[in-house]
């Protein structure tokens, strides 16, 4: 993604990993496999890998710099995390910190970390391993968690007797483990702040609720002069969900609420000047939602 730069703000994308990740029907089980072939003209090669037939996705952090603050949005999977059921995520080693330093930012420079939700692939770099224990990666940062989101996952991690648990057993375990190693140490260090819908980070930058994918799922809105940017988190996982906004991912806690949130989001921002920055869209990532033959499509920013 090319940096977004104005006189008062700079937004960049810090990539932890990018490439073929999920079969279409694993991520979007309500879509037929033939959809990939129907849309191959624009899906290949950036968003669908034809040989493996896997959706191409990205795990990244958005880095926002203003004259007042440095803000990170979502912190990917992290290094050294114990994720035995999740392949490449298990005790992975990536140059995330080095790449952040290459942007001219040290760990101590970060003022805020905002997690759109508390899934494993959005909280990993909240903490790092130091002398055998997990400590906040960004020692001077305030970590912003939706209160509803935190209360849900705190209860989920400490009470394993959920009769209506929507997740399969390996996913249940990683959700609990990631809370313990990537959220709880931040709370115990006194660096977390529980926030609600509408919370302002600074003038022109605020949080909005977008529930469904998780109970407290949220997005970040930025309006500075003529610049209108929306960091949409996991409201939309893949560009196909702009074409089919009624389709929720397999990882949505409440698929029906997620569908309603996504449809409202797509309809609201269609044909507007809002630049959308989703959490998992592969390069070039940023773009706009436009009307298309009675539906919608995503047009990427050059």
Tens digits of per-residue pLDDT, 47-96?
999 999 999 999 999 999 999 999 999 999 999 999 999 989 999 999 99
Position 258 in a domain: no
Least confident of 21-25, 75-79, 97-101, 154-158: 154-158
Position 259 in a domain: no
**C-beta atoms surrounding 187 within 10 Å:** 16
Position 167 in a domain: yes
Position 52 in a domain: yes
Cβ partners under 8 Å of residue 266, min gap 6 = 236, 242, 245, 289, 296
Position 121 in a domain: yes
Partners of residue 224 on adjacent β-strands: 227
In Å, how far are 29, 92, 107, 141, 276 from 189, measured between CA atoms?
Answer: 40, 24, 16, 11, 33
Position 40 in a domain: yes
Averaged confidence pLDDT in the chain: 96
| pLDDT of 100 above 90 | yes
Burial per residue of 108-140, b for 16 or more beta-carbon CB atoms within 10 angstroms, e otherwise: ebbbbbbbbbbbbbbbbbbbbeeeeebebbbee
Tens digits of per-residue pLDDT, 213-257?
999 999 999 999 999 999 999 999 999 999 999 999 999 999 999
| pLDDT of 163 above 80 | no
Position 98 in a domain: yes
User: What CATH number corresponds to the domain at position 76?
Assistant: 3.60.15.10
pLDDT at 175: 93
Classify 99 as helix, strand or coil.
helix
Q: What are the strands, taking DSSP E only, across the chain?
A: 4-5, 10-23, 48-49, 54-65, 70-73, 112-114, 127-130, 133-136, 142-146, 192-195, 200-202, 205-209, 218-224, 227-233, 275-278, 287-292, 295-300
Residue where the block lists tokens 């203003």 = 66
Distance (Å, rounded) from C-alpha 206 to C-alpha 200?
4
Distance (Å, rounded) from C-alpha 178 to C-alpha 127?
10
| pLDDT of 154 above 80 | yes
Tens digits of per-residue pLDDT, 166-214?
777 888 899 999 999 999 999 999 999 999 999 999 999 999 999 999 9
pLDDT at 162: 66
| Token digits of residue 28 | 């979007």
Domain span including residue 137: 4-227
* Dihedral angle computed from the Cα positions of residues 47, 61, 219 and 19, in that order, rounded to the nearest 10 degrees: 20
pLDDT at 165: 76
| Omega within 30 of 0 (cis) for the link into 218 | no
Position 288 in a domain: no
- Number of structural domains found in the chain: 1
Spell out the alpha helix ranges (H) of 128-282. 147-158, 169-182, 184-188, 240-243, 255-269
Q: Averaged over 134-138, what is the pLDDT?
A: 98
Tens digits of per-residue pLDDT, 26-36?
999 999 999 99
pLDDT band, very low/low/confident/very high, at 158 (cuts 50, 70, 90): confident
Count of alpha carbons within 13 angstroms of residue 237, beta-carbon side = 23
């Amino acid at each position: 993604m090319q940096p977004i730069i104005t006189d008062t703000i700079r937004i960049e994308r810090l990539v932890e990993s990018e490439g073929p990740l999920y079969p279409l029907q694993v991520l979007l089980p309500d879509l037929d496999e033939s959809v990939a072939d129907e849309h191959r003209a624009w899906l290949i090669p950036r968003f669908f890998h034809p040989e493996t037939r896997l959706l191409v996705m990205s795990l990244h952090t958005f880095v926002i710099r203003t004259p007042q603050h440095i803000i990170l949005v979502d912190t990917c999977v992290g290094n050294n995390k114990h994720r035995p059921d999740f392949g490449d995520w298990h005790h992975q080693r990536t140059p995330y910190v080095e790449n952040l330093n290459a942007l001219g930012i040290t760990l101590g420079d970060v003022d805020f970390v905002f997690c759109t939700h508390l899934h494993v692939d959005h909280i990993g770099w909240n903490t790092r391993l130091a002398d055998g224990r997990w400590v906040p990666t960004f020692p001077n940062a305030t970590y912003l968690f939706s209160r509803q989101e935190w209360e849900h996952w705190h209860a989920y991690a400490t009470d394993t007797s959920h009769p209506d648990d929507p997740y399969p057993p390996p996913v249940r375990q990683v959700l609990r483990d990631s809370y313990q190693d990537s959220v709880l140490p931040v709370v115990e260090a006194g660096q977390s702040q529980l926030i609600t819908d509408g919370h302002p980070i600074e003038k022109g930058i605020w949080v909005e609720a977008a529930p469904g994918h998780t109970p407290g799922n949220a997005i970040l809105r930025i309006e500075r002069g003529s610049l209108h940017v929306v960091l949409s988190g996991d409201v939309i996982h893949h560009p196909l969900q702009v074409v089919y906004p009624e389709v929720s991912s397999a990882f949505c806690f409440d698929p029906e609420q997620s569908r309603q949130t996504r449809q409202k989001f797509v309809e609201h921002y269609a044909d507007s000047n809002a630049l959308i920055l989703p959490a998992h869209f592969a390069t070039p990532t940023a773009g706009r939602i436009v009307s298309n033959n009675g539906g919608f499509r995503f047009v990427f920013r050059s």
